Structure 1
Amino acid sequence: MEVTADYTTNAPSRAEVDAHDGPLVIEFGAPWCGHCRAAQALIATAFAGHHQVRHLKIEDGPGRRLGRSFQVTLWPTLIFMHHGQEIARLVRPGDAEAIAAALRQIDTP
């Protein structure tokens, strides 16, 4: 899958996320967030070669249930999941290799 370009306000339910079969990365942030914008090139670089990983880019903020269910407090927060289980989490990642290392944990053949 390709890296998702835009944040969506239409978040799935936590039950839908937990039921996802396969590798999944949920990126919580906001389109106006400077930290989020700065991380986009790193995320795109890290995702190269991880075509089986689904990427959800969820706009977060007060009252957004999915972000609260993951206890997200800073943006961007990347949640790396496999078969509905959180495997890794990165908050405000500073380099593509940290993201790639987390992707390798969930993107298994």
Structure 2
Amino acid sequence: MATKLQADEISSLIKERIENFEIKVDINEVGKVVSIGDGIAKAYGLSNVMAGEMVEFDNGVKGMVLNLEEASVGIVVLGQFESIREGMSVKRLGELLKIPVGEAMVG
């Protein structure tokens, strides 16, 4: 036999769900690679990217935006640039390049 919820139970359940409700918005700006050569990728569609911002290509290789032009951006590829192809997607990561500092970096 199925149990029936009472009106006060339903009300408290709805209140609890409303209180614990979280809005998560994930806005990813994605562009396309138009050319690649000598470790530099040129991409369009990343109109809000910042100089020095990290980006990630479809294959997981990361890059850093250095050149901002009106219609495209220049990206220094920080990995195997040979695996990046024209037409591949590239997305903003929303963070700048980070290099850890410690005794090992000092030498």
Q: Tell whether the structures are fold-level matches, with TM greater than 0.5.
A: no
Q: Which has the larger radius of gyration?
A: 2
More strand, by proportion: 2
Higher relative contact order (CA 8 A, sep 6+): 1
More helix, by proportion: 1
Specify the TM-score bucket, using the shorter chain as the normaliser.
Answer: under 0.3
User: With structure 2 as the length reference, what TM-score do the two structures score?
Assistant: 0.24
